Amino acid sequence: MRARQLEYEALLVKRSDMEQMMREHLQTMEKQQRKKDEELMQMIAKQQRKKDEEHQKIMQEQQRNLVEQRD
């Protein structure tokens, strides 16, 4: 009977260890995903800034052309 109790306790410890390992793995995966998401957001923001700058240049050029046409 004592042997079964020890075996059962050992299984509980093993289960607990496996659950902890899975939680740690999940946390690691979530951290990696957050990092990838942040990198993606930074890349998108950089692309948007570049588009905004290009648009601004086009608008300035059009404004200059209008001014030149009036003169």
Tens digit of pLDDT per residue, the chain (71 long)? Answer: 899 999 999 999 999 999 999 999 999 999 999 999 999 999 999 999 999 999 999 999 999 998 888 76
Q: Radius of gyration of the chain from Cα atoms?
A: 31
Q: pTM higher than 0.85, yes or no?
A: no
Structural domain containing residue 33 = 1-70
User: If DSSP codes are grouped into helix, strand and coil, which group holds residue 35?
Assistant: helix
Tally of structural domains, the chain: 1
